[in-house]
Amino acid sequence: MINLGQLKFAYKRKTVLFEQLNAKMDSGKIYGLLGHNGAGKTTMLKLIAGLLFPKSGFCNVLGFKPEYRNPNFIKDIYYIPEEFEFPAFSIEKYLKIHSVFYPDFDKVILNEILNEFDLSYESKLTTLSFGQKKKFLLAFAIATKCRILLMDEPTNGLDIPSKSKLRQIIAKYITDERSFIISTHQVRDLDNILDSVIVIERGQVIFSKSIEEIQQKLVFKKVKSLDDNKDILYSSRELGGFNVLTKNIHTEETKIDLETLYNAINTNKELVNNAFN
Ligand code: ADP
């Protein structure tokens, strides 16, 4: 569905951000694109959406070259930026103008999500709070029935109940035909909804595994003390003990702690990646 190979990209007059970016993403999956601020997450989403153009290498999305902006490609991809402006329209007027660009636009789905988020058609977009605007855009994006939905830091600006509603909605509307790619530096916000984790650091993919692989190869535990367990890949102190990450030697099944995984990768990516060999 998405295939980036040896992709090179630099902003004008800046040093190269992506030297040789490689990434593959399939349909039917929710991907978490994790990385610190400035790692290159937004840039990667914009390259996939065709809003930025690679210098070299290839970027194949749904069989198209995104930079050509083919109408059959554009109807199937939606990018929700981290920040955006709306015109002073009601939701109803916005829909009339924008939904026509998406031939499969589904008003039933839109109604369902607007109801879940307590938004009404009469609301004027400019009078909504930042969080409400984000919710509206998410509802609109899902209702387009696009095959690839790119969400850039979607939980920023949302309160805790809204974050959990967002997770529920994302999990509800994923289908075999589409994929959701969600960038965030707040890894806890995506707990329990991801199928795959991709971590980028300074323009490089430093980790890319499915949740299934992570569960098979790693064990997440809370322990009172750190005895001399040689299999510990990472540990962090917490109240009353430690969070530890170890290799999964005894085929245990533990709940993935995304934050511990992320911190472990950032501390020693080779050590974590070696656990998968
Ligand atoms: P992230 O989304 O992971 O926070 P970005 O993709 O936004 O990272 O940015 C990656 C790097 O590219 C940063 O160093 C940032 O300063 C730089 N950058 C982003 N946008 C531009 C731009 N329009 N012009 C020049 N540099 C940019």
Cβ(50)–Cβ(68) below 8 Å = yes
Q: 102-138 burial, b if ≥16 CB within 10 A, otherwise e?
A: beebeeebbebbbeebebeeebebeebeebbbbbbbb
Instruction: Give how far the C-alpha of residue 11 lies from the chain's centroid of Cα atoms, to the nearest Å.
Output: 22
Q: The pTM is what? A: 0.94
- Strand, coil or helix: what is 232? strand
Listed by start position, the domains of the chain span: 2-89+146-202, 211-274
pLDDT given at position 98: 94
Cβ–ligand 1 contact at 17 (below 6 Å): yes
Mean pLDDT per 10-residue segment, the chain (277 residues): 94 84 96 94 96 95 96 96 89 93 95 91 89 93 97 91 91 95 92 94 93 96 80 90 92 92 96 94
pLDDT given at position 228: 65
Q: How far is the CA of 186 from the centre of ligand 1 (A)?
A: 17
**Considering the domain 2-89+146-202, what is its CATH architecture?**
3-Layer(aba) Sandwich (3.40)
Q: How far is the CA of 208 from the centre of ligand 1 (A)?
A: 21
User: Which DSSP category does 255 fall into?
Assistant: -
List the beta bridge partners of residue 177: none
Cβ–ligand 1 contact at 200 (below 6 Å): no
User: Which DSSP category does 90 fall into?
Assistant: B
List the beta bridge partners of residue 175: none
* C-alpha closest to that of 263 among 249, 241, 277, 243: 243
- Strand, coil or helix: what is 112? helix
Q: How far is the CA of 82 from the centre of ligand 1 (A)?
A: 13
pLDDT given at position 227: 76
Contacts of 85 (CB under 8 A, 6+ apart): none
Cβ–ligand 1 contact at 38 (below 6 Å): yes
* C-alpha closest to that of 17 among 9, 5, 7, 29: 9
Mutation test residue for ligand 1: of 15, 17, 182, the one with most atoms within 8 Å of CB: 17
